[in-house]
Chains A and B, each alone.
Chain A
Amino acid sequence: AQKITQTQPGMFVQEKEAVTLDCTYDTSDQSYGLFWYKQPSSGEMIFLIYQGSYDEQNATEGRYSLNFQKARKSANLVISASQLGDSAMYFCAMREGLNFGNEKLTFGTGTRLTIIP
């Protein structure tokens, strides 16, 4: 089974609208972390936001927020007031076994977001 599933290969959104990028995950660990990264056409992976499995509140970073629904195993990224510069690939990732020193990130296949002026 896929550990990270991103079901939207591509999305088109009007500038200034909010957008939600979907991510579901699969793990049996109790302690894990969820991440969102942005990859512009230049190729560099840019860290956006992090949510720990024990965090009670949804993470927020500026225009980014993570809608964490633990029972549903979903960690959707919400971008408010989208801008042209938000056009990029977006990857959801998970790090399992935080308590056991596991270090690797497992990524989904990504969603290509295009902002329309």
Chain B
Amino acid sequence: DTGVSQNPRHKITKRGQNVTFRCDPISEHNRLYWYRQTLGQGPEFLTYFQNEAQLEKSRLLSDRFSAERPKGSFSTLEIQRTEQGDSAMYLCASSIRQQTYEQYFGPGTRLTVT
């Protein structure tokens, strides 16, 4: 049973460029989450999908951010016109409706905006 995978693991981009990250959840998991983690902080919730439907978005997700999960499997997170403040670790997690509700995280994509 493979875990959550994320690509790329690292991304360095210049300010103003667009970037896209991919997340592949655990195969039978219908729920997928995106979080952002800045240095010295815990992860902060960005958005959540149940199958292909985006059911919740944080106010942290500005209009420069968009997330999709077109076929209810993998998901992409795109950041347009990147800013230095977007530098962070972007974490993806997945879950399936279970008694304990735990979310399983991927290794993350570290974004550096120069």
Do A and B pair up? The answer is: yes
With contacts A44-B106, A44-B108, A103-B33 known, is A33 near B42, CB below 8 A? no
Report the bound CA distance from A106 to B56 in whole Å: 14
Interface string of B75-102 (1 = CB under 8 A from A): 0000000000000010101000000111
Report the bound CA distance from A19 to B48 in whole Å: 34
With contacts A42-B107, A44-B107, A109-B40 known, is A104 near B45, CB below 8 A? yes
Could you tell me which A residues sit within 8 Å of B by CB distance?
A: 4, 33, 35, 37, 42-47, 50, 52, 91, 93, 95, 98, 103-110
Q: Is the CB of A50 within 8 A of B42?
A: no
Interface residue count on the B side (C-beta < 8 Å)? 27
Q: Which residue of B lies closest to A43 (CB)?
A: B108
Residues in B with CB closer than 8 Å to A4 are 42
Q: Is the CB of A105 within 8 A of B43?
A: yes
Q: Is the CB of B101 within 8 A of A95?
A: yes
Q: Which residue of A lies closest to B40 (CB)?
A: A109
11 CB contacts below 8 A, A to B, read A44-B107, A45-B43, A46-B105, A47-B102, A50-B101, A50-B102, A103-B33, A103-B56, A104-B56, A105-B43, A109-B41
